[in-house]
Amino acid sequence: MIQIRAFHEADVKSLWELFHHTIHDVNRKDYSQAQLDAWSPHQFDKELWAERYQKIQPMIAYIDDPESGMTIVGYADLQKDGLIDHFFCHHQYQGQGVGRTLMHEILHFAQHGQLPRLYSHVSLTAKPFFEHYGFRVVKKSRSTYMESCSQTSSWNTQSKSETPLFFSICFHSGAKAMPHLIIELDKQTADQHDLQHLCERFHHQLCKTELFRPEQIKVRVYLMEANTKNGLQSNVAHLTLKILAGRTTEQKQSAAKILIQTLSEYFPAAEKTVEIMDISEIYLKSPAP
């Protein structure tokens, strides 16, 4: 089980090794060796990196094994202005939920800290992961991140092509907020089901997409008093998922697939449709009296 703890001074060497090996073992599929060496030189400056980690105070992802003991498998940070300066997962623990655990922790802190915007400078390798969580590219850069994490004031690169390409990305808190799922059922179909249980089930299914924060998902059921097709009454189950613009086509298709499968479980005999709608970020809500 992946757990999160605070940074300790004794972590410095382990974090640098994780940073260095992740870059040279994972990012090499997208960058040349010269770019990797410019990004993370092989010399370890303990004093410099101790100062850097003390400054950013990263959260540490680790696993605790009874036999091998505690192993650091990733780390990330979140600064007061919303900057995610470092976000690295151990090269031997890729695809095992380390990044997901760290990102959920970051989003949790951002929400409770009422940060309206998160931003970072990420590699070509990490870009799809961040986009999955709603970040969007603002610009490409060959210097911003390098200047941020460099060990020296200037880089020993012979040409611009040796400096790795990074993407400045941004995430607005609204990008994961306010998904509204509206379930429309004909009265006959609705009478055959526990509607509260139905809402809870679809809430759970939307949580599985990892596109939305669970506490912000709203599910409602509306009844069709009358419904006809070709002049005859028919059983219908229609879903409308309203989300803020910014999701990729692949993400929407993935959510639609989960929703239509859940509809089929509940209403095998009904005509089933799913509609996903982008809405404006300008969304007004009147508070209850």
pLDDT: which is higher, 135 or 62:
62
- pLDDT at position 285 is 47
H-type alpha helices, 163-285: 187-190, 195-208, 249-266
Query: What residues are paired with 70 via a beta bridge?
Result: 64
- Residues 119-134: pLDDT tens digits? 999 999 999 999 888 7
CA angle 253, 254, 257 (to 5 degrees): 85
Confidence of residue 95 (pLDDT cuts 50, 70, 90): very high
Confidence of residue 147 (pLDDT cuts 50, 70, 90): very low
- pLDDT at position 155 is 40
Q: Is 87 exposed, middle or buried (0-12, 13-18, 19+ CB in 10 A)?
A: buried
- pLDDT at position 63 is 96
- pLDDT at position 83 is 93
Instruction: State the Rg of the chain over Cα.
Output: 23
Q: Which residues of 140-169 are buried (b: 16+ CB within 10 A; e: fewer)?
A: ebeeebbeeebeeeebebeeeebbbebbeb
Pairing of strands 232-233, 228-229: antiparallel
- pLDDT at position 173 is 52
Give me the domains of the chain, ranges plus CATH numbers.
Answer: 3-175 (3.40.630.30), 177-279 (3.30.429.10)
Average pLDDT, the chain: 83
Question: Mean pLDDT across the stretch 96-119?
Answer: 87
The single-letter DSSP state of residue 26 is T
pLDDT: which is higher, 268 or 176:
268
The share of the chain scoring above pLDDT 90, in percent, equals 50
- Residues 191-248: pLDDT tens digits? 888 999 999 999 999 988 877 778 778 899 998 876 666 656 678 899 999 887 666 7
Distance CA 147, CA 149 (A): 6
Of 103-112, 138-147, 177-186, the range with the lowest mean pLDDT is: 138-147
Reading the block at residue 56, the tokens are: 């950013």
- Residues 148-183: pLDDT tens digits? 444 433 344 444 556 667 778 776 554 445 678 999
- pLDDT at position 161 is 55
Q: The whole model's pTM is what?
A: 0.61
